[in-house]
Each structure stands twice: as C-alpha cells, then as structure tokens.
A = this chain, B = another copy of it.
C-alpha cells in the first residue's frame, strides 16, 4: 500500500464529499476547529443540546467528542450523541483532553470508551497513558508531560482491548489499531505553541473518518495532512499568533500533490505481545 497516495486520495475525498462533522467540543477551540474544518473542505456543526444531538448525528458523517471543558450537562449530551452515532454506524472520535488531570476527565473518557466505543481515540502521550491504566501518569494539566514513545504500549493496549484506533500526537505522531502501527513525522514545533492544536487534530480526524476506508487510515491521513499544514504555516510565520492563523491557511493551501511529495509516514505490523 502506497500511503502517500492513500492520504492524498483521502484529502481529495474530503474536498469532494464535504462531510458534515458534528462536534461536541470545548469552548476554547470551537471557533478554531470550525475554521480548520472549513479550510480543509469539510462542513462543521457545533451542537450540544440534549434535545437535538440525535437528529444532528443522523445528518453527520462523523461525531467528535472532546472533553476539554466538560460539565455534567455536556457529558450527558456526549453519551446521548455517542450512542446515537454508534447505533447508526457514524464514526466517533474521542479527544480525552486532560485525562489524568482530574478524576472527572479520566472517568468520563473511560466511560465514553466503554459505552460509546469510539472508532478513534486521539490524545497526547499523558492522556493516553492515563487511560491505558497508568495511575501514575502524572498529568498536570492539558499539556503532555510524556513523550509519544512512552505512550506506545498504552496505545497498543487500548487499541486491542477496545478494538479501536488510537492516535498519540506529539513531536512524532503514532497511530495503531492493534494490528498495524504508523509513525508520522510531519509537523512543526510551533504547533504546540498554539492552543487547541490537539483538538484541531481530533476535529479533522472526524472529517477523514467520514470518507476513509477505515479508522486507522483516517487517523493516519489526518495527521499527515495536519502535519503538512503545520509545515506550510512555518514557512509563513514564526511566532504563535500569526502561526495559528497560517495553520488554517495551510489546510486550505495543501494539495493532493503536496501530500504525495511531502508525506512522511511509515506503517508496519504491530509487535506481538
């Protein structure tokens, strides 16, 4: 399988199909994520009312659940939307923002994993370690305290236990579905200086999940494309304010040819355990 070609085709598919991506996400990133989805070529909708999430899930190509500023009524809506998505085979992406930093976040993420069975879990290394059962993950907020390599076993464990794809983002990104592993080295250090780039990765994963052949491929395509947008942005801006805006531009600027030339992804079988 030629992954550079596959990712390029997925990017074309997002732009051709313009999937509606329903997000129940945090207040910090709503504007940024809606703009990122639009720039990529998808169509965003943000909606959390218990009375309407089932109807909107039914219209959507994917559902993104992000616990970044969670509270009791929002959690209730996440479960309702997530279960409706599961029933309709709408792929669900879960972003466990801050898992490990509070019991509420860790438990909500775990309960969503168990009950909603998301197709894809996308987090930073500390979050994946916290969810992989490492009680001593030492999360101290929403920024990662660990390297992606440290989270690899936890990611494999979650992928196999839940039958889901796990994406761990950082300096190098790691994706596994328990059988395969991908390492993506696209991206730029400035991405971590902009708030919510992890959340943006999750939102974009929703767009790719709506068009890709499977969840593993969706996660890989997202992280290559977003990483390349990050590289594009670094050629326009070198400070975090202007860089964050250039990142949106990059999602618009990137062509399938740019992807074929620039993708740096290695995929192989996951180790036996």
Residues of A within 8 A of B (CB): 20, 26-32, 34-35, 38-39, 43-52, 55-56, 59-60, 68-73, 98, 101-105, 140-143, 193-196, 239-242, 244-250, 252-253
> CA–CA, A243 to B194, complex, Å?
17
Known: A103-B55, A196-B34. A48 touches B29 (CB 8 A): no
Between-chain CB contacts (< 8 Å), 6 pairs: A27-B30, A45-B98, A48-B71, A51-B72, A60-B141, A240-B252
Whether B34 and A31, one on each chain, are in contact in the complex, defined by CB atoms closer than 8 angstroms, is no
Residue in chain B with minimal CB distance to A47: B69
Q: Is the CB of A35 within 8 A of B244?
A: yes
Which of B39, B73, B239 has a CB less than 8 Å from the CB of A240? B39
Identify the closest chain B residue to A54 (Cβ): B102
Are the CB atoms of B249 and A239 closer together than 8 Å?
A: yes
Q: Provided the pairs A28-B30, A52-B103, A140-B59 are in contact, do residues A39 and B245 lie with their beta carbons within 8 angstroms?
A: no
Q: Report which of B26, B31, B46, B241 forms a contact with A245, defined as CB distance below 8 A.
A: B241
Q: Which residues of B contact A43 (CB under 8 A)?
A: 141-143
Q: With A56-B102, A140-B20 known to touch, is A240 a contact of B244 (CB < 8 Å)?
A: no
With A28-B46, A71-B73 known as contacts, the answer to whether A195 contacts B34 (CB < 8 A) is yes
Among A30, A59, A60, find the residue whose CB has the most chain B CB atoms closer than 10 A: A30
A193 and B47 in contact (CB under 8 A), knowing A31-B29, A55-B103, A73-B71? no
